[in-house]
């Protein structure tokens, strides 16, 4: 339960959720993420560190660059479902089971 609570706590921040949405589609470095979400690099780095500590993000070194991505299929599914749910709430798309 505590691990799930911590994951949801990390995703409750709009910047971190935006980052996770991008990271669920592929690998990005800090500069690319900062540009994509129009946020300062130091702020993006701090958010990524929190997401990494929470086990939601993993890294891979490519030369001098560090690439970030969503940790696994479970994390990607969690992000997708959260955004699909929000889309239903905002757009009025009928709910389904």
pLDDT tens-digit series, residues 12-34: 999 999 999 999 999 999 999 99
Q: What is the pTM of this model?
A: 0.90
Q: Determine the average pLDDT of the residues in 36-53.
A: 97
* CA–CA gap between residue 74 and residue 13 (Å, rounded): 19
Structure tokens given for 76:
């990607």
What number of residues does the chain have?
A: 97
């Amino acid at each position: 339960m505590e691990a799930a609570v911590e994951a949801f706590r990390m995703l409750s921040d709009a910047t971190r959720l935006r980052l996770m949405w991008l990271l669920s589609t592929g690998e990005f470095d800090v500069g690319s993420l900062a540009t994509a979400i129009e946020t300062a690099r130091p702020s993006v780095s701090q958010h990524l560190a929190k997401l990494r500590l929470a086990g939601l993000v993993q890294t891979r070194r490519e030369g001098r660059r560090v690439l970030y991505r969503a940790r696994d299929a479970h994390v990607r599914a969690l992000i997708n479902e959260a955004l699909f749910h929000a889309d239903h709430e905002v757009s009025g798309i009928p709910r389904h089971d």
